[in-house]
């Protein structure tokens, strides 16, 4: 089966191994007999319900985020319609911030958000940076997710919102709540990069399964496990670093 990915703003939001995440999805899809077609979606290009099985928004620096924020916010309705149609979404770092209601910088300037995730982000005085590990449960399965975080934003979820996971080591959304990321149905956002999917192959498979469910119009399929020897080793190294460091405020 063909899985169509809409990669939003790959020329602007691309600093946290976002192309590496796409490569992982393509390889794991191919090993199971599926084809991943990645379609770049730049400023002004339309998003129509049914066109994409997965939407991906990566991370970028403040200047790049400011350039694309108005366009992303203007896509609020089309993004919501695509998700309501059953598409999956993965947003990392800056993309995660801009899919909330707004991001307010140090000087008080406010970037509009697309309102997909129920949260608001305000820049803090120091950066939350370091290896991070979170405990995560998706569809009844429990896993640890390992990654790296580097963000000044403090993201606060609305009361009752579902985080992606709870912080085991590191900072997470705001360094205080113990939450990391956010989930709304098949849409997940996270600060974890470094990159995210190569060291968390189970999460890559979860994303693929959600995308395949949309492509086929059925329930997410079961996957036979892959060997993932190197992937598990990468995860274990990152997890040990998170336990040892716990993050560092800069």
Helix (H, G, I), strand (E, B) or coil at 245: helix
CA dist., res. 36 & res. 3, Å (int) = 5
Structure confidence at residue 250 as a pLDDT band (50, 70, 90) = very low
Q: Which residue has the higher pLDDT, 180 or 194?
A: 180
CA dist., res. 154 & res. 107, Å (int) = 15
Catalytic residue selected from 7, 12, 34, 193 = 193
Q: Is-catalytic flag, 12?
A: no
Domain limits of the chain? Answer: 2-249
Q: Is the pLDDT of residue 17 over 70?
A: no
Catalytic residue selected from 34, 93, 119, 182 = 93
| Closest-CA residue to 235 (of 127, 134, 150, 137) | 134
Q: Is the pLDDT of residue 26 over 90?
A: yes
Q: Is the pLDDT of residue 249 over 70?
A: no
pLDDT digits (tens, 9 = 90+) for 52-78: 999 999 987 778 888 899 999 999 999
As given in the structure block, the two tokens for residue 37 are 């077609």
CA dist., res. 173 & res. 18, Å (int) = 20
User: What's the pTM?
Assistant: 0.94
Q: What is the pLDDT of residue 59?
A: 86
Q: Is-catalytic flag, 235?
A: no
Q: Of 32-36, 60-64, 122-126, 175-179, give the lowest mean pLDDT range.
A: 60-64
Structure confidence at residue 15 as a pLDDT band (50, 70, 90) = confident
Identify the helix (H) or strand (E) that includes residue 62.
Answer: helix 62-74
CATH architecture of the domain with residue range 2-249: 3-Layer(aba) Sandwich (3.40)
């Amino acid at each position: 089966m063909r899985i169509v990915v809409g990669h939003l703003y790959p020329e602007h939001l691309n600093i946290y191994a976002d192309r590496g995440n796409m490569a992982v999805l393509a390889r794991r899809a191919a090993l199971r007999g599926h084809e991943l077609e990645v379609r770049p979606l730049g400023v002004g290009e339309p998003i129509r319900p049914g066109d994409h099985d997965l939407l991906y928004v990566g991370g970028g620096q403040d200047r790049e985020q400011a350039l694309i924020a108005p366009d992303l916010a203007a896509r609020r309705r089309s993004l919501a319609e695509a998700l309501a149609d059953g598409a999956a979404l993965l947003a990392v770092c800056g993309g995660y911030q801009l899919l909330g209601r707004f991001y307010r910088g140090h000087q008080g300037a406010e970037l509009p958000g697309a309102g997909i995730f129920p949260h608001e982000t305000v820049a803090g005085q120091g950066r939350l940076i370091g290896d991070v590990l979170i405990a995560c449960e998706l569809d009844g399965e429990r896993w640890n997710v390992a990654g790296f975080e580097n963000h000044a934003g403090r993201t606060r979820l609305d009361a009752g919102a579902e985080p992606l996971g709870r912080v085991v080591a590191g900072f997470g959304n705001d360094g205080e709540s113990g939450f990391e990321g956010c989930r709304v149905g098949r849409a997940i956002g996270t600060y974890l990069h470094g990159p995210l999917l190569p060291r968390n192959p189970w999460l890559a498979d979860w994303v693929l399964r959600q995308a395949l469910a949309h492509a086929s119009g059925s329930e997410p399929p079961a996957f036979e496990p892959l060997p993932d020897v190197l992937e598990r080793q990468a995860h274990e190294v990152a997890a040990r670093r998170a336990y040892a460091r716990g993050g560092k405020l800069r």
